[in-house]
């Protein structure tokens, strides 16, 4: 089955999918995106992803390219045409095509592109069983990280550094020495007494849908949760560390900046929360 992409109203072969060189996404990173996981034909956190998409669009005064219901139909049709039951949808909206000039163009029509790819739950599972390493890097991003903008250069640089150092992710550190989040993940620690800590949603971080869904699931569990920034020192001395995202779900972290967390194996709380999240995805 050949891969199909969606570009501005048309389903086209993936290799031929293209937007104009004067698309403002290409020239100014003037656009937003979403990544939505699909597990066994279920779009995980769909409403949260669409709410966040609409919020990002509103914040940047970009018109929605279509209403919510038709957009949901396009996502399903794209999955159908690609024969995907478990995978990821990538969806991007830009302000559209216009002669290059900084102010918002008057009549540009927003561009909507979507791609879908298959992912392997078994691979994610293997990674979770082993745990991953992260490094810390300075957070050099802009002040509106709550907007899921396609302007991801600092995130790209952070992740590249992680890869070069043999790590899976880079946790970014603000000017006061507190972790903001990963390059494409939210960061969590478990204190020695079992308390879970993650940074509160604000302009400092992207409010991850996986993070929000996990917080909701935790409301029915017997965990103490603190929504507050945590320092690099707390990270290094945590009982457990894990990260959340649409593609990693709940992923245990076993090493930070070369130092083992706990006994260097995924901790029991991280494992339990991963199981809770898996259960939520599968039901
Ligand atoms: C900077 C950043 N933080 C956190 C996340 C995790 O968000 P979600 O759980 O919605 O995938 C992402 C996902 O792309 C991200 O780019």
Asked about 148 being catalytic, the answer comes back as yes
Structural contact between residues 170 and 159, judged by C-beta atoms closer than 8 angstroms: yes
Q: What is the DSSP string of 156-196?
A: HHHHHHHHHTT-SEEEEE-TTSBEEEESSSEEEEE-TTS-E
Q: At which residue do the structure tokens 């029991």 appear?
A: 268
197 pairs with which residues across the strands? 189, 226
The tokens of 156 are what?
A: 């790209």
- 234-267 pLDDT, tens digit per residue, is 999 999 999 999 999 999 999 999 999 999 999 9
Verify whether ligand 1 is closer than 6 Å to residue 240 (CB atom): no
Q: Enumerate domains of the chain plus CATH numbers.
A: 4-119 (3.30.470.10), 124-282 (3.20.10.10)
Verify whether ligand 1 is closer than 6 Å to residue 213 (CB atom): no
Among 186, 243, 248, 250, the mutation site with the greatest number of ligand 1 atoms within 8 A of its Cβ is 186
Determine which one of 148, 161, 221, 265 is catalytic. 148
Global pTM?
A: 0.97
Return the number of other C-beta atoms located less than 10 Å from residue 259's C-beta. Answer: 11
Verify whether ligand 1 is closer than 6 Å to residue 82 (CB atom): no
- 185-238 pLDDT, tens digit per residue, is 999 999 999 999 999 999 999 999 999 999 999 998 999 999 999 999 999 999
Give pairs for 274-277: CB < 8 Å, separation 24+. Answer: 274/128, 274/242, 274/249, 274/250, 276/214, 276/217, 276/221, 276/250, 277/210, 277/213, 277/214, 277/217, 277/249, 277/250
Structural contact between residues 269 and 241, judged by C-beta atoms closer than 8 angstroms: no
Q: How far, in Å, from the CA of 186 to the mean position of ligand 1?
A: 6
Q: How far, in Å, from the CA of 149 to the mean position of ligand 1?
A: 11
């Amino acid at each position: 089955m050949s891969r199909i992409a969606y570009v501005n109203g048309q389903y086209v072969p993936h290799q031929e999918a293209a937007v104009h060189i004067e698309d403002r996404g290409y020239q100014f990173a003037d656009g937003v995106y979403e990544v939505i996981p699909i597990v066994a034909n279920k779009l995980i956190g769909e409403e949260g992803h669409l709410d966040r998409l609409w919020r990002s669009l509103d914040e940047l005064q970009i018109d929605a390219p279509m209403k919510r219901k038709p957009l949901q139909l396009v996502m399903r049709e794209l999955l159908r045409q690609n024969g995907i039951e478990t995978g990821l949808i990538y969806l991007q909206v830009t302000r559209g095509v216009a002669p290059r000039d900084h102010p918002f163009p008057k009549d540009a029509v927003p561009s909507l592109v979507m791609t879908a790819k298959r992912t392997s739950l078994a691979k994610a599972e293997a990674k979770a069983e082993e745990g991953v390493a992260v490094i810390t890097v300075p957070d050099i991003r802009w002040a509106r990280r709550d907007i899921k903008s396609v302007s991801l250069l600092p995130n790209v640089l952070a992740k590249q550094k992680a890869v070069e150092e043999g790590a899976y992710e880079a946790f970014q550190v603000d000017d006061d020495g507190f972790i903001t989040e990963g390059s494409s993940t939210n960061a969590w620690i478990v204190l020695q007494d079992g308390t879970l800590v993650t940074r509160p949603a604000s302009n400092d971080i992207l409010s991850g849908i996986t993070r929000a869904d996990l917080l909701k699931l935790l409301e029915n569990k017997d965990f103490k949760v603190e929504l507050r920034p945590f320092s690099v020192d707390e990270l290094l001395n945590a009982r457990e560390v894990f990260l959340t995202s649409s593609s990693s779900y709940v992923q245990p972290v076993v090493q930070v900046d070369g130092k083992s967390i706990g006994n260097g194996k995924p901790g029991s709380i991280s494992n339990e929360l991963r199981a809770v999240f898996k259960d939520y995805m599968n039901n």
